[in-house]
Each structure stands twice: as C-alpha cells, then as structure tokens.
Amino acid sequence: MASLSIAPIVDADVADVITLWQRCGLTRPWNDPASDITLARRRDNSTVLVGRDGNTIVATAMVGHDGHRGWVYYVAVDPDRQGKGLGRTIMNSVEGWLREAGIQKLQLLVRRENAKASAFYQTLGYAESTSVMLAKWLDGREPTP
C-alpha cells in the first residue's frame, strides 16, 4: 500500500485541491468546488482529507456523516499516479475517520457511466446498493445528470 501523509485540508491547499479535482474530471458546472470545500469545513461532521507525497497533493476525499451514515465525495488521485495504491490509502483514511466518529456504514455515489470508479470501489469491498437515489434542487433548478 502506498505511503501518504494524510491530514484535513487547510486554506493553502484549496486551489491545488480544486486543480486536482479538475484534472480528475470530478467537477461539474452545477457544483462550485470552492463552495463545496467551504461547506465541508463548516462543521465537525465533515472535512476534506488531503494525501500528500512530500509537499505535493496527490489524493483527496471529501468525507462527512449525518450522524447515521457516512458519505464520501471527490475521491481523487493524481492521474499520473493512479494504480499505485493511493486511492486505497485515501479510502482507508476515510473509513478510519468515520469509524472514529462512530459511523458504521459508508455510502458513495458513482455515475452510471464511470465503470472504472465502480470497479475500483468493488475491489475495496463496496457493493452496488438496491436503493434508488432521488434528488431535488431546493432552489428550483431542473434535475441535472
């Protein structure tokens, strides 16, 4: 397993984290990544974990919980370093963070067309749920893909 220094995001990391998310194709026009980071840092039930190799950010995961279930978003590994165990390492940190918070189940969303991500999570023991996700924009927008 790859060795990373993993810690919660700090202000100086935000621009580099957003750049990594963009390189990994994780950002969408309807989600402002800077706002998502700010929201995740607002309370003690969520954060963005940053994995560093030396001084370089090479992996991230936004993690949080509602007191009952944990969720993870923006799992990213530098495209030039994928396949070296960094994704597994950051996900192990996510799971540990949730265990420390007393959360027993982690859920995540994968876009249907992202077979590579689905396969990755399955190697970590995740299974497709039989639940159907429903969504609604509270500001009145039409549904997004």
Are the CB atoms for 62 and 76 separated by under 8 Å? no
Q: Assess whether pLDDT exceeds 90 at residue 144.
A: no
> What pLDDT does 35 receive?
96
139 falls within a domain: no
> What pLDDT does 118 receive?
94
Total structural domains within the chain? 1
Q: How many percent of the chain have pLDDT more than 70?
A: 99
55 falls within a domain: yes
140 falls within a domain: no
41 falls within a domain: yes
CATH code at position 84: 3.40.630.30
> What pLDDT does 2 receive?
64
141 falls within a domain: no
Helix (H) or strand (E) holding 103: none
Helix (H) or strand (E) holding 17: helix 14-23
What are 91's two structure tokens? Answer: 């996900």
What band does 3 get if pLDDT is binned at 50, 70 and 90?
confident
15 falls within a domain: yes
DSSP E strand stretches across 9-87 = 46-53, 56-65, 70-77
> What pLDDT does 87 receive?
96
65 falls within a domain: yes
* Mean pLDDT for the stretch of residues 123-145: 90
37-60 pLDDT, tens digit each: 999 999 999 999 999 999 999 999
119 falls within a domain: no
> What pLDDT does 1 receive?
53
89-117 pLDDT, tens digit each: 999 999 999 999 999 999 999 988 889 99
What band does 86 get if pLDDT is binned at 50, 70 and 90?
very high
Domain range for 54: 5-110
What band does 65 get if pLDDT is binned at 50, 70 and 90?
very high
Q: Assess whether pLDDT exceeds 90 at residue 145.
A: no
Are the CB atoms for 63 and 44 separated by under 8 Å? no
